[in-house]
Structure 1
Amino acid sequence: MNTNNNSQLPLEIPIGDAISRIQFSPNSNNLLISSWDSNLRLYDVDASVLRVEVPSEAALLDCCFTDDDSVAYAAASDGFIRRYDMHSGVIDPMGSHDDMATCIGYSDETCLLVTSGFDKKLLSWDIRTKKSFSLSMTLDAEIDSMSLNGFKVTIGIGASAQVYDLRKFDKPNLSMEPCNGAQLRCVSSLPYAEGFAVGSVDGRVALQVSCSSNLNDTGYTFRCHPKLKDGQHHLASVNDIAFSPLVPGAFVTGDDEGYATIWDARSRKRLLEFPRYSNSVASLSYNHLGQLLAVASSYTYQEAKEIVEPPQVFIHKVDNIDLGSSSARRKT
């Protein structure tokens, strides 16, 4: 595959069910794909080769890398947290939640794996010991989304965003409703400052920045995904947000209507909107250099009238996009 062009991953065997998460490796252009079809896949984007496909015993609802390509983890519908050796394909169950495990993330600074589930628990696991979870916290409601950066974990519960310090992990450092009571669909930690962004079911994105060295605002909300339908604005749920490692302040959002859009956080202006995908945009991931953007087009089980087509993953080269311009334009 020539990554100089926008390309669809040529998967010889189609992904059999909804994609739950895509994530580039922290060190290479290997892409991890978890799916409701119970398979964890490792795709080498540079070589256009599916390196590993590991079947599991339950639907995979989230996945993450550690600090290299060789080890990955996934959260499953049977509650189990599993460790995957991506070289050998060996699976090692670490432990489980009391209900479906829904979110998972890794902190390189602490060597902690953090997971959540329908049991309303937030668990941390020390991957160096390979034992059961090291810390546990029971919350008032199920966690809908989660994002880790450094020593901080940000979670979305209903309309509330909460930030915890992994070194204390007893109570949130911050708890707020960034979208004025609207249900949150996704959270994403800022990679270049203390803060986070959230996306809501009514098409809004809110940014909260504690260290404003790179941004003028410390917190604001704007509607980024109102779509015209029958002459009226239709609000599409924001399913995922990913920040560019290449340009501080640039981020991409994906929605239920099948649109992925790159924004400038400083000006709150649209930089680029990709042509509409056939399914919802379920997950987004930049590679470690910020040159490539992976977009998972998949039904998400969020809407009753979703189009059920085979999930697809698209790779876009974005390092030649003029992200310094705040003028809105559409990629054709």
Structure 2
Amino acid sequence: MVSPHLRFREISGDPNAIVQAIPDTEKYIAAISSDPHSSRHGRGQLLLQVHKMEVDGSETLKLKLRLYDVDSSLLRLEAPAPSQAALLDCCFQTESVAFTAASDGSIIRYDLHSGTNDAIGNHQDIAACVGYSIETCQVISAGLDKKVMSWDVRLANPLTLFRNLDAEIESISVSGFDLMVAVGAAVNIYDLRKFERAVDLKESSMDVGIRCVASTSYTRGYAIGSIDGRVAVEISNPLNLNSIRYTFRCHPRTKDGKAHLVSVNDIAFNPLISGTFVTGDNEGYVTAWDAQSKRKLHEYPRYPNSVASLSYNHVGQLLAVASSYTYQEANETEVPPQIFIQKMDGNDIGYSPEVSRDSSRK
């Protein structure tokens, strides 16, 4: 039985968290996405997708997309995936339409009222990520076939344009007219109104692969997370004044001076407070940062598993954290996944004048 509720429960001494318990038959959560359109009570729905493994003599893999209403704390929809392919990413188009990217390369559109779905197109390899631009009405997908594709689902033939890049793509971020694409150790920036070529190519200071990229909503800028625990931030000022560009490590070095290498799995910018963002890593830590002052604002109590995905609601009052096994490292703790809905307070978004500089890690 699927638990239909999100319920309040104190975790690790943190009373500001709501936790959604997922049954033990669940294996892991691939991604979560908050509805950018909903205005009810200033919160919004939460979209997530999971793998479900049921053992009935033979292991049957069931893949499902789920829609939760955070306001009422209820499961609104559970829609099966159209194939046995793994669902790897998801996004909203409207309150009633969502898209997923799957390991068989398919990009699937879901009707969130009826639960029905249809394929709008395919990549030639794993489709790793999908996003939607409200401004241009484009669905953007990318994957391991080294292609970024643009879809207009209003057309009979929805594929409108694709770009061949030089490397496999594991992360994209769409904000307004801007598309950020992580390619190897670089970020390609596109204007979706002129998608024929990149408007900017940013070589990062990292010599390792980029795990995730997140764009800002208030200006052209982004943050990227690497597989070795570093974060690079670049935020442009329209007047070319006080532009931000720097790199830092999320984890402090050990006493012997060695870097603590742990993958930064996801980054999310707060849509309410400019320059404030959170990182989630493979050891289960979520940390809030201020891009302007280069300060750590707050570190949440450690989550029970790796942080697979992060998503703010549309006004930045709630942060959804997917705590899940990610199959990246042999020493990961394989415990049932959970979704935590974290309420934001002054420490989380930079209102408090007193900012903790000490890490809670032991």
From 236, 242, 261, the counterpart of 1:216: 242
Q: 1:144 to 1:48 in 2, by over 3 A?
A: same
Q: Displacement, 1:7?
A: 1.5
Equivalent residue number for residue 203 of structure 2: 177
Q: Residue 193 of structure 1: SS of its match in structure 2?
A: coil
| Aligned residue-pair number | 330
Q: Displacement, 1:36?
A: 3.7
Q: 1:203 to 1:116 in 2, by over 3 A?
A: same
Equivalent residue number for residue 34 of structure 1: 49
**Distance in 2 between residues matched to 1:39 and 1:230, nearest whole Å:** 46
**Distance in 2 between residues matched to 1:130 and 1:307, nearest whole Å:** 46
168-177 or 151-160, which deviates more: 168-177
Q: Displacement, 1:192?
A: 1.2
Equivalent residue number for residue 95 of structure 2: 69
Q: 1:118 to 1:261 in 2, by over 3 A?
A: same
Q: Displacement, 1:14?
A: 5.1
Equivalent residue number for residue 26 of structure 2: 16
Does 2:272 match 1:243? no
Instruction: Show CA shifts across 1:77-108 (max 9, x none).
Output: 11111100011001111111111111100001
Q: Displacement, 1:229?
A: 8.8
Partner amino acid, structure 2, of 1:65: F
**Contact 1:270 1:326 (C-alpha < 8 Å) held by counterparts:** no
Instruction: Show CA shifts across 1:252-286 (max 9, x none).
Output: 00001110000111111111101111211111011
**Distance in 2 between residues matched to 1:73 and 1:215, nearest whole Å:** 38
Q: Residue 134 of structure 1: SS of its match in structure 2?
A: strand
Does 2:342 match 1:327? no
Partner amino acid, structure 2, of 1:327: V
Equivalent residue number for residue 44 of structure 1: 69
**Contact 2:120 2:153 (C-alpha < 8 Å) held by counterparts:** no
Where in structure 2 are there 5+ consecutive unaligned residues?
1-6, 10-14, 39-43, 53-62
**Contact 1:226 1:235 (C-alpha < 8 Å) held by counterparts:** no
Q: What's the TM-score, normalizing by structure 2?
A: 0.85
Equivalent residue number for residue 57 of structure 2: none
Equivalent residue number for residue 314 of structure 2: 288
**Contact 2:148 2:164 (C-alpha < 8 Å) held by counterparts:** yes
**Distance in 1 between residues matched to 2:313 and 2:241, nearest whole Å:** 23
Partner amino acid, structure 1, of 2:115: G
Equivalent residue number for residue 55 of structure 1: 80
**Distance in 2 between residues matched to 1:314 and 1:22, nearest whole Å:** 11
Equivalent residue number for residue 150 of structure 1: 176
**Distance in 1 between residues matched to 2:70 and 2:255, nearest whole Å:** 36
**Contact 1:10 1:48 (C-alpha < 8 Å) held by counterparts:** no
165-174 or 95-104, which deviates more: 165-174
**Distance in 2 between residues matched to 1:100 and 1:207, nearest whole Å:** 28
Q: 1:34 to 1:179 in 2, by over 3 A?
A: farther
Partner amino acid, structure 1, of 2:79: V
Q: What's the TM-score, normalizing by structure 1?
A: 0.92
**Contact 1:216 1:266 (C-alpha < 8 Å) held by counterparts:** no
Percent identical residues: 52
Equivalent residue number for residue 326 of structure 2: 300
Partner amino acid, structure 1, of 2:182: G
**Distance in 2 between residues matched to 1:24 and 1:159, nearest whole Å:** 28
**Contact 1:179 1:204 (C-alpha < 8 Å) held by counterparts:** no
Does 2:109 match 1:83? yes
**Contact 1:282 1:300 (C-alpha < 8 Å) held by counterparts:** yes
Q: 1:5 to 1:152 in 2, by over 3 A?
A: same
**Distance in 2 between residues matched to 1:77 and 1:200, nearest whole Å:** 22
**Contact 1:226 1:236 (C-alpha < 8 Å) held by counterparts:** no
**Contact 1:264 1:326 (C-alpha < 8 Å) held by counterparts:** no
Q: 1:133 to 1:45 in 2, by over 3 A?
A: same
**Distance in 2 between residues matched to 1:193 and 1:86, nearest whole Å:** 31
**Distance in 2 between residues matched to 1:315 and 1:214, nearest whole Å:** 37
Q: Displacement, 1:320?
A: 4.5
Where in structure 1 are there 5+ consecutive unaligned residues?
none
Superposition pairs for residues 251-290 of structure 1, below 5 Å?
A: 251-290=277-316
Q: Residue 167 of structure 1: SS of its match in structure 2?
A: helix
**Distance in 1 between residues matched to 2:236 and 2:37, nearest whole Å:** 28
**Contact 1:240 1:283 (C-alpha < 8 Å) held by counterparts:** yes
Q: Displacement, 1:195?
A: 1.4
Q: Displacement, 1:194?
A: 0.9
Q: 1:25 to 1:15 in 2, by over 3 A?
A: farther
**Distance in 2 between residues matched to 1:169 and 1:292, nearest whole Å:** 33
